[in-house]
Structure 1
Amino acid sequence: MSFEGSTLVDWQAFQRARSELGTGFVRILGYFQEDGYKSVSAVEAAVRANNATALVIPAHTLKGEARQFGAEPLAELAEQLEMIARGCVETHDTPDEAVPHAAKLRPLFEETLTLLLREATPLQQRRPVAGGGFGRRVI
């Protein structure tokens, strides 16, 4: 599954979060990465186990954290899963409807995370050293 990068992240919201979080931004993004993988795995496990109750909290957590970084499509998918789960808890039903949504979750999370991390920690372009530099022969 491929998503267009410009539509996965609201870059204005991302920059706002970066500005508000200041020096803690990269650390908080790291928490999002760690917690996000845990939430995605918990969602997948809950769907496999047909356990709507176990689906609510990880979907809710992922929704909030994704919104913090401007990852709106990911937040919307997590919200759909959360709403399905909450409805199933109320009706004492299994979350069968969540299966196709859960199948999209990991690829969307990983692609979104890649974009967020790339923007947060861009590699500096290296310029060749004048005169060849170490390991480069001057011709």
Structure 2
Amino acid sequence: MIEGSADVVDWAHFEKARAELGPGFIRILSYFREDGIKSVAAIEQAMREQNTVGLVMPAHTIKGEARQFGAEPLAKVAELIESTGRLCIETRRFPDELVADVVRLRKLFDETIQLFDEATNPLRSRAGPGGAFGRRAANQGFGRI
């Protein structure tokens, strides 16, 4: 679908979800965005406050919703944060080792949302090969010295 994005989104899974959800797809995708923004912010806040319990539920939320739309790399990072958080709750320690993963979660979430926006923007999908409407002028070099 979008060049170079197959490592972030499984487009076959994304299109299957689109077909199954039908007219409600865009609305449900907007919930993913809203929940994701809140969840990523909550995870970042929990890391700043060293609140291990605060990592688990938002990571669980992102994991499930990302998988629904074929964003498996995002789901895997969220799953790592969730499972490490759960283990650390049991062992009564804070998972400092997750700092890099939380940073990666933010980056992957932002990239995933951007790709979803590009895939669902009706103007973008109607654009020609150059990414814009109309034909590209063939005489761009004419008259130039």
TM-score category of the 2 structures, normalised to the smaller one? 0.7 to 0.9
Give me the TM-score of the superposition, normalised by structure 1: 0.85
**In structure 1, what is the equivalent of residue 88 of structure 2?**
88
**In structure 2, what is the equivalent of residue 27 of structure 1?**
27
- The reply on whether 1:54 has 2:54 as its aligned counterpart is yes
Q: Which runs of 4+ in 1 moved over 2 A?
A: 124-128
Please say if residues 10 and 72 of structure 1, whose CA atoms lie closer than 8 Å, have aligned partners that are also in contact: yes
The Cα RMSD (Å) is: 1.2
- Report the Cα offset of residue 122 of structure 1: 3.6
Deviations 1:44-66, CA, capped at 9 Å, x for gaps: 00111111101000000000000
- Identity value in percent: 53
Helix, strand or coil: the match of 2:113?
Answer: helix
2: CA distance, partners of 1:84 / 1:94: 9
**In structure 2, what is the equivalent of residue 136 of structure 1?**
none
Q: Which runs of 5+ in 1 are unaligned?
A: 129-139
- Report the Cα offset of residue 93 of structure 1: 0.7
1: CA distance, partners of 2:122 / 2:79: 30
Q: Which runs of 5+ in 2 are unaligned?
A: 128-132, 136-145
2: CA distance, partners of 1:17 / 1:104: 25
**In structure 1, what is the equivalent of residue 110 of structure 2?**
110
- Report the Cα offset of residue 107 of structure 1: 1.1
Give me the TM-score of the superposition, normalised by structure 2: 0.82
- Report the Cα offset of residue 121 of structure 1: 2.0
- Report the Cα offset of residue 91 of structure 1: 0.6
- The reply on whether 1:101 has 2:101 as its aligned counterpart is yes
Please say if residues 84 and 97 of structure 1, whose CA atoms lie closer than 8 Å, have aligned partners that are also in contact: no
- Report the Cα offset of residue 116 of structure 1: 1.1
Please say if residues 51 and 95 of structure 1, whose CA atoms lie closer than 8 Å, have aligned partners that are also in contact: no
- Report the Cα offset of residue 105 of structure 1: 1.2
Aligned length: 125
